[in-house]
């Protein structure tokens, strides 16, 4: 007998197996389990889950079609609102969004919307010819999208559906932004990202790689090339270091470098791939966000790594990563050192990092972020032996575009200032995602891309 208050358990690779590979950890629901879960949905008249979704997917709609076993229709509903459902079904923090709003959550488990989204998107990819959203009327106007991360891809997809001629400019040699360089294979297989991007290309979106806007072309030059509007969705990819002594030692990496080497350049498969990564046996990851969890779990999977520490200055209460990621990291054997911060690193005669001096923290009064501020406990310093460090304490804005576009106003952190309708201080230039908000989630960046697409449509139609 199925307990109607419980959601299905996601089958996954066992911890002892998965730390030896980079394959995806959750394996996906069976059709039977997915349909049973769909059957629990109350099909609310005023669905709160939809309000909780930054891109307003018709959640009861796609779940109903799944229940009716019409997977094609279900997939189409997802794609209407979200061009990357297989991605979002995996990396969205559903527990803080759609699922948090689900009525069933008051007395039992909310509907596992994320699992179902993933199921439908995967089913469609594996069983049907890819459905390409229909372009109703072709327009002549060209729009440039800078950055092919979740925000840029969403904006491009929406504009293309409206009929615009869209070109996406990507700096790397592969499209996808943080989905390819940041999020690891075991959480988001790169073949899935590639497939979603292929759909965009089949819709007629042009994707140009190896194009660093701000260098190869300025925003003004894009207008000279005939683009009617420009969307900037370049993310916040400039790594932040702590500025403590010893951070310049060898094998102290930013999480960006560490993850880019592993995910984009496939350093875990060195020397089959040419890009190396060196960690030694003991790795310390600094930070408590999803990037820190990704770094720690990636480190565990590398050849020769025996021990991974995750050093975070606040307690488990404040840790910003998703609960699921924290659980996975703990199951896999990452050692959490909470209420702890590094104060200095020491190296050997070759200047390779060998030791971290840390200090214990206690929580004081709440700071401006509303979280209790960590305060060092004097005399609590201690040292741990390590062979490498990954600094995952956040990122800030990359100055490349703002520096070469004088009319573009930025705030004191370098993030682009936009008005209500995502237009920047420069006419015809729109922006969204992390480059406006600072580092946030995939789905919020997608929400911004969608909003900007509507604003760009208005702008091109009426010229403001």
Partner 1 sequence: MNKILEKKALADNVYWYKVENPDIARARKPGQFLILRVHDKGERIPLTIVNSMPEEGSVEIIFQVVGKSTKLLAELNEGDHILDMAGPLGTPTHIEKYGTCVMVGGGIGIAPLLPITRGFKEKGNKIISILGARSKSLLILEEEMRNCSDTLHVATDDGSYGEKGLVTDVLSRLCRSGEKIDYVVAIGPVIMMREVSKLTKEFNIRTMVSLNPIMVDGTGMCGGCRCYVKGESKFACVHGPEFNGHEVDFDRLAIRLNMFKSSEKLALDHECKINRG
**Residue 406 interacts with partner 1 (CB under 8 A)?**
no
Closest listed residue to residue 65, CA positions, set 57, 75, 55:
75
- Which residues have C-beta within 8 Å of that of residue 180, sequence separation ≥ 6? 172, 174, 190, 193, 263, 264
Shortest Cβ 216–partner 1 spacing (Å): 5
CA distance 127 to 129: 7
| DSSP one-letter string for 83-97 | S-HHHHHHHS-GGGT
Shortest Cβ 173–partner 1 spacing (Å): 4
Closest listed residue to residue 285, CA positions, set 396, 388, 179:
388
Q: Which of 250, 364, 409, 464 binds partner 1 (CB under 8 A)?
A: 250
Cβ-contact 150, 84 below 8 angstroms: yes
Q: Which of 220, 257, 318, 331 binds partner 1 (CB under 8 A)?
A: 257
Q: Which of 350, 368, 369, 378 binds partner 1 (CB under 8 A)?
A: 350
CA-CA-CA-CA torsion sign (89, 91, 94, 95): positive
**CB-wise, 108 or 226, nearer to partner 1?**
226
Closest listed residue to residue 390, CA positions, set 242, 273, 264:
242
CA distance 362 to 377: 7
Cβ-contact 118, 84 below 8 angstroms: no
**Residue 128 interacts with partner 1 (CB under 8 A)?**
no
Shortest Cβ 158–partner 1 spacing (Å): 26
Q: Which of 3, 274, 317, 420 binds partner 1 (CB under 8 A)?
A: 274
Contacts with partner 1: how many residues (CB under 8 A)?
41
**CB-wise, 33 or 197, nearer to partner 1?**
197
- Single out the segment in contact with partner 1 by CB under 8 A; choices: 169-177, 195-203, 441-449, 456-464: 169-177
- Which residues have C-beta within 8 Å of that of residue 371, sequence separation ≥ 6? 314, 318
Shortest Cβ 113–partner 1 spacing (Å): 33
Binding positions for partner 1, 130-149, rule CB under 8 A: none
**Residue 272 interacts with partner 1 (CB under 8 A)?**
yes
Footprint of partner 1 on this chain (CB under 8 A)? 171-173, 181, 209-212, 215-217, 237-239, 241, 243, 247-248, 250-251, 253-254, 256-257, 260-261, 265-266, 270-276, 278, 350-351, 398-400
């Amino acid at each position: 007998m199925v307990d109607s208050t419980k959601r299905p358990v996601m089958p996954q690779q066992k911890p002892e197996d998965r730390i030896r590979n980079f394959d995806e950890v959750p394996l996906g629901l069976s059709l039977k389990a997915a349909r049973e879960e769909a059957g629990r949905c109350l099909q609310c008249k005023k669905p709160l889950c939809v309000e909780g979704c930054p891109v307003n997917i018709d959640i009861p709609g796609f779940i109903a079609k799944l229940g009716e076993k019409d997977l094609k229709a279900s997939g189409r509903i997802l794609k209407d609102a979200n061009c990357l459902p297989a991605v979002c079904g995996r990396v969205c923090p559903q527990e803080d969004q759609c699922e948090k709003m689900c009525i069933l959550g008051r007395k039992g488990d909310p509907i596992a919307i994320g699992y179902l989204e993933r199921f439908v998107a995967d089913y469609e990819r594996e069983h049907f010819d890819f459905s390409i959203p229909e372009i109703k009327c072709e327009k002549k106007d060209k729009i440039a999208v800078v950055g092919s991360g979740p925000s840029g891809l969403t904006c491009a997809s929406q504009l293309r559906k409206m009929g615009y001629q869209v070109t996406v400019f990507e700096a790397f040699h592969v499209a996808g932004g943080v989905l390819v360089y940041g999020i690891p294979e075991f959480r988001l297989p790169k073949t899935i990202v590639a497939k979603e991007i292929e759909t965009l290309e089949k819709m007629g979106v042009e994707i140009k790689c190896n194009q660093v806007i701000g260098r190869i072309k300025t925003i003004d030059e894009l207008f000279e090339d005939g683009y009617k509007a420009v969307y900037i969705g370049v993310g916040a990819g400039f790594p932040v270091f702590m500025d403590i002594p010893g951070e310049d030692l060898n094998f102290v990496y930013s999480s960006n470098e560490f993850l880019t080497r592993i995910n984009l350049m496939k350093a875990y498969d060195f020397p089959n791939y040419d890009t190396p990564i060196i960690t030694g046996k003991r790795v310390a990851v600094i930070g408590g966000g999803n990037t820190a969890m990704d770094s720690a779990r990636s480190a565990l999977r590398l050849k020769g790594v025996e021990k991974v520490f995750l050093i975070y200055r606040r307690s488990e209460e404040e840790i910003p990563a998703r609960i699921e990621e924290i659980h996975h990291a703990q199951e896999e054997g990452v050692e959490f050192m909470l209420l702890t911060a590094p104060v200095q690193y020491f190296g050997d005669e070759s200047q390779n990092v060998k030791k971290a001096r840390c200090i214990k923290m206690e929580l004081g009064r709440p700071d401006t972020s509303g979280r209790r501020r960590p305060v060092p406990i004097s005399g609590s310093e201690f040292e741990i032996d390590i062979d490498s460090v990954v600094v995952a304490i956040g990122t800030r804005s990359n100055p490349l575009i703002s520096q070469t576009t004088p009319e573009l106003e930025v705030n004191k952190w370098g993030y682009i200032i936009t008005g209500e309708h995502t237009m920047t201080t420069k006419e015809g230039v729109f922006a969204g995602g992390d480059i406006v908000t600072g580092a946030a989630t995939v789905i919020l960046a997608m929400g911004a891309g969608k909003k900007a697409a509507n604003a760009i449509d208005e702008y091109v139609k009426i010229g403001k």
